[in-house]
Chains A and B, each alone.
Chain A
Amino acid sequence: GAVVSQHPSRVICKSGTSVKIECRSLDFQATTMFWYRQFPKQSLMLMATSNEGSKATYEQGVEKDKFLINHASLTLSTLTVTSAHPEDSSFYICSAFRDGYGEQFFGPGTRLTVL
């Protein structure tokens, strides 16, 4: 149990296009999900906290108009990188906070490469 999936696992896009990444909690409900960004051999940087039915809370320095987050249901959050540029290339990881259990589970990550 307690599986979090991400789709796609890898995506390559051209500069200027938008990319959507999905994060799903497969067998539990998650009112809160988190989006992280990770550069090679570095730690996870929290980008935003996604709350079902309300606006996401972005960390300082993260552009909310560039990284659009939608948490429309208790099992799905999406991150859309708008007008992607090569500097947006990174490994994006989501995690879901399991309601009632106080535990956080991580997705397998999405490798974004912007050409």
Chain B
Amino acid sequence: AQSVAQPEDQVNVAEGNPLTVKCTYSVSGNPYLFWYVQYPNRGLQFLLKYITGDNLVKGSYGFEAEFNKSQTSFHLKKPSALVSDSALYFCAVRTLSGSARQLTFGSGTQLTVLP
């Protein structure tokens, strides 16, 4: 079975400072890893994904994430946070093995960027 852990329910950061939202995963095969962002009363918006290749993945709105196989982590980062980045962030995983296509989501991390 695959699982995703987001250890922090809430992350607060000052505008202009770097931000990190943590994610660790557990899968039996090679993982597809995703980050999504959700604004209030809206669906999920895709930020970035890791499938293979370079461990540092760059995505939308200046976000990036680093795949670390030894630590089974896929932390989301941004060098300089904006107030508009305040939202709910979800990490998700899907394995390459088997026929299952569904994503398994983490519990979500509420990011608040303070002006």
What residues of chain A have their CB less than 8 Å away from a CB belonging to chain B? Answer: 4, 6, 32, 34, 41-44, 46, 49, 91, 93, 95, 97, 102, 104-109, 111
Contacts and interface: CB of A to CB of B under 8 A. Distances in A.
B43 A104 contact: no
20 contacts: A41-B110, A42-B107, A43-B107, A44-B44, A46-B102, A49-B101, A91-B41, A93-B43, A93-B44, A95-B44, A95-B103, A102-B32, A104-B101, A106-B36, A106-B43, A106-B44, A106-B45, A108-B42, A109-B43, A111-B41
B23 interface: no
Interface residues of B, number: 18
Contacts of A104: 101, 103
A42 B45 CA distance: 16
Contacts of A102: 32
Contacts of A108: 42-43
A109 B41 CA distance: 7
Interface string B94-108: 000000011101111
